[in-house]
Amino acid sequence: MNDIERDIRKINIECEIARLENERRISRLAMARNLAMLDAERKCRNENLFTLLSTGALIWVFVLLICITIMMFLPLFK
């Protein structure tokens, strides 16, 4: 009986070790997935910020161009 109980304990310990290794592996994969998602979100946010800033700069260029054009032609109407 002693050998059987020892084998059962040994198998239980091996199963527990395998379970812990699987949990650790799953945890690493989940962490890697979360980091990849955060990185993608950061890149997307940076692209949106660049688009927003470039659009704003383009709008300001047109506004300034219109203002300069008006200031150039304003003396002609006096």
- Strands annotated E in 1-78: none
Domain count of the chain?
Answer: 1
pLDDT at 3: 83
pLDDT at 40: 87
The more confidently predicted of residues 31 and 75 is 31
pLDDT at 20: 92
Radius of gyration of the chain (CA): 34
What confidence tens digit (pLDDT) does each residue in 7-60 have?
Answer: 899 999 999 999 999 999 999 989 999 999 988 888 888 888 888 889 999 999
In the three-class reduction of DSSP (H, G, I as helix; E, B as strand; rest coil), residue 78 is classed as coil
- The DSSP letter of residue 1 is -
Angle at 67 between CA 61 and CA 69, to 5 degrees: 100
**Structural tokens at position 42:** 């950061």
Domain residues for 58?
A: 2-77
Banded pLDDT at 1 (limits 50, 70, 90): low
